[in-house]
Structure formats: structure tokens, C-alpha cells
Chain A
Amino acid sequence: MSAEAPPPPQPPAGLARMGNSAEDKDLVAQALAGDRDGFGVLVERYAAQARRVARAVLGDPDDADDAAQDGFLSALVKLAQYDARRPFGPWLMRIVANAATDRRRRRTVRRAEPLDTSLVGGGPRPDAAAVRSELGDRLRSALAELPERRRTAVVLFDVEGYSHAEIAGILGIPEGTVRSEVFHARRRLRTLLADWKEQVR
């Protein structure tokens, strides 16, 4: 028997998010009162999610981290505008997604090149362990081919566990459009996943 107990299973992102919403409000109140630790706990809690959402928009992980950071600092500035009757996560993710979109626009203007080309896998990988990461490459490549709103919607829904209504609020689009975007994104990604499974069999 190993000395260390295995880590507890992670709950789905959405459940974890909903369970903490009341505490989030307290943390926001602390941050508003100038408590560094209150803001720190919020960053700790939402960092991974913010980085993933930003990466869904931007593709490049370093740009995504910059955008996620921009999002947190922008949220800090706007914290007094947060409506404590609503969950904090969607409010923050809207700011993060906007920060990522802004950064992508600036990058597009600066470099005028298609999204994510550096992330697509090159040739065959030398070791078997890389086979799994090849799926990651393919998914990122497939995500990059989707319209920004579509890939953000599917990540918010299937990865982060937000509801259609919450995603509608985050992206500023009607709920029906969110459903449609998630549907089309899933169709593309599921096809890719099925093909990959066929290949590795």
C-alpha cells in the first residue's frame, strides 16, 4: 500500500462551480474590501477554468495565460459592478472570454495569420506515449477550425459545465444560438474523435 492516499476524484467542473457560488460572493465582498486573500482565493479557484476558456478562444497557451490574467485584473477593476445575486463564474468567464477575444483581434491585426497553426501536430511522433497527445493536437486543430463563438460555447458547455442560459449570458447571444453552436461543434468534434478511435484500434 502506498504511503499517500490517491487524490479524491474531481467533481465535474459545473458541480464544483455551483457548490461554491455562495462562498464566491463572500470572497468577492472580501476582495472589494481590499482583502488580498479574498481575491487570491478567487484566482486560485477559477484560474484553470479561465485559462482553458481563454485557450479555447486563442489557441496558443501563452497568449491564453496572458488573456486569463487580463481577465482577472479586469474583473478586479469591475468587481463593484458584479451583481451578487448572480453566480460569479459566468460573470468572470464573460470578462475572460472578452479579454481573450480582444487579444485575438489585436493578434490578428498584428500578425494576420490563421489561428493556432503552431499547435497542429507535425509529423509522426517517435514514441507510443505521444499517441494520446496526438488526439489533443487534433482536437485543438479541429477547435481552431471552428468559429470562435462555436468553440467557446462547446468548451463552456462540455468542459466547464455551464448551462445554455449561462453561456448565452457569457457570450452575449440568445440561448437558442448557444444550443445551435454547441450542436455543430459537437458534431465536428465527435466525428474527429470517432475517426481517431478507429485509427488507434
Chain B
Amino acid sequence: MKNEPSFDHRPDPELGGVLRAALEPRGDHAAFVARVMAQYERALDRATIPALDILASWSRPGIAVAAAALVAGFLFGRSILTPVRAPAPASIEAAMAPAEGPGGAGLAALVTADDPPDASVVYASLVDQR
């Protein structure tokens, strides 16, 4: 051992030796290894627990149920979001007629119709009125 070698780049064998003896584990080496390996086995058991088996048993019916729910949800959503298309009135009179009148879809129908009324029908109605 040297007195004060400051930043020595090499390990000090004497100091290392006494420190090693001082820190030497108390218990048996083989017993410690066996203990760690026992924990290892337990950890493996926990990792492979029936978790995978459970997932496997759930998978087929689970996938079927999920797919059915998905399709049902899609169809239901589409039925809600898709508006019912009202036909455009056939003539201006029909459009202007009260809804409960004969052959009249009503002004509301004209306004809310998805398709605009045929322009020729509108003009024909105006000409007839003159």
C-alpha cells in the first residue's frame, strides 16, 4: 500500500483485499444462488400464469361479440345520421298546397326537400296562373 498516491489509476490490491474480506457476504454462496433461482422460477410462473390461457379462452367469443357490436353500432349510427330524403313536390301548387290537402306536400316539404323542384314545373305553373 502506498501512502498517498492521489489519483492512482490502478486498484490497490492491499486495500481491495481487506475491503473484500470486510464485505464478504455472510451466507453461503450456493444458498444465495438457489434463493435467486427460486425467485426466478416464481417470477416465471407469475409471468405465464393462466393469464395467457385466460386470454386464449376469451379470444374467440370475445372477438365475435366485439365484431357484432361493431357492426350493430355502425348500422345504428348510420341509420341515425342518414336523413330521410323527401321527394320534391311535383308542381308549385302542390308545393303551396297545405300538407293535409289533396296531393299537396306543403310548403314545408318544398323548403326541406333535398332536391330542388323542377324549374319547368315552376314556370309552367306561373304561365298557367296568368
B19 / chain A contacts, CB cutoff of 8 Å: 139, 143, 154-155, 158-159, 189
Complex contact A73–B26 (CB within 8 A): no
For B60, what are the chain A residues with a Cβ–Cβ distance below 8 Å? Answer: none
- In the assembled complex, the Cα of A51 lies from the Cα of B19 at a distance in Å of 13
Name A15-63 residues within 8 Å CB distance of B: 36, 39-40, 43-44, 47-48, 51-52, 55-56, 61-62
- In the bound complex, do residue B15 and residue A140 qualify as a contact, i.e. CB atoms below 8 Å apart? no
A76 at the binding interface (Cβ < 8 Å): yes
Given contacts A61-B25, A183-B6, A187-B4, A159 and B20 within 8 Å (CB-CB):
yes
A72 to B39, CA, bound (A): 10
Bound together, the chains give a CA A137 to CA B21 distance in angstroms of 10
Number of B interface residues at 8 Å Cβ cutoff, please give it.
33
Contact with A along B1-44 (1 / 0, CB 8 A): 10110111101111110111111111101001101110111010
Beta-carbon contact of A65 and B37 below 8 Å: no
Chain B residue, CB-CB nearest to A139: B22
**In the complex, number of A-B residue pairs with CB atoms less than 8 Å apart:** 108
On whether A55 and B37 interact (CB within 8 A), knowing A189-B15, A193-B1, the answer reads no
- Contact B11–A157 (Cβ < 8 Å): yes
> Known: A36-B40, A44-B33, A47-B36. Is A65-B27 also a contact (CB below 8 A)?
yes
Q: How far is the CA of A140 from the CA of B1 in the complex (A)?
A: 19
CB distance from A92 to the nearest CB of B (A): 12
B21 CB contacts on chain A under 8 angstroms:
136
* Closest CB in chain A relative to B13 CB, distance in Å: 8
Given contacts A47-B33, A164-B9, contact A155 B18 (CB under 8 A): no
List chain B residues, Cβ under 8 A from A183: 6-7
For the A-B complex with A43-B37, A55-B23 known, give 5 more contacts whose Cβ atoms are closer than 8 Å.
A12-B16, A36-B41, A73-B43, A158-B11, A186-B12
The 9 closest A-B pairs by CB, nearest first: A158-B16, A136-B22, A139-B22, A61-B26, A51-B25, A52-B23, A159-B20, A158-B11, A55-B23
